[in-house]
Amino acid sequence: MDKPLFLAGGAYGCVFSPYITCKGKLSHNYKFLSKIQVRNFYSYNEVHMGQKIIKRMPLEYKFFFAPAVHHCDINIKEFMHLGIDSCKIVQTQKKSPFILLKIPYI
C-alpha cells in the first residue's frame, strides 16, 4: 500500500491508517493512526490533555483512552502525495497550519 486509508473525518480533522510519519512517509505500522488537524488551540489542547492522561495513568490509560503519543507541525503541501486531500478539512483549509498526531489504534 502506498497511500494511507482514510478512516474518518470530522469537524476537527481526519484519521488515516497506517501512521504517517512527520516526514510524510507511510510507516506500515498498523498499531498507530494519524490524525491531521488544523493547528489551533483545540489541537494543542488535545495533545496537552493526552500528556496529562498518560502521566497520571501510565499503566491504565490504554484501557480507557487513545491519547496522542506524538505530534508535529506539518506543511500540508508536503503530504499531498499521500492522497490526504480526501479529508474535507485539508480541502477547505489548505492555507492553514496543520498538526499531525500519532494515536494508538484500539
The grid cell for 18 is: 497506517
Taking only the tens place, the pLDDT of each residue in 11-54 is 888 999 999 999 999 998 899 999 999 999 999 999 999 999 99
What pLDDT, on the 0 to 100 scale, is given for residue 69? 92
Average pLDDT score, the chain:
91
Q: How far apart are CA 80 and CA 69, in angstroms?
A: 23
Q: Which tens digits make up the pLDDT trace of 87-99?
A: 999 988 888 999 9
pLDDT higher than 60, residue 86: yes
- What's the CA gap between 41 and 27, in Å, rounded? 28
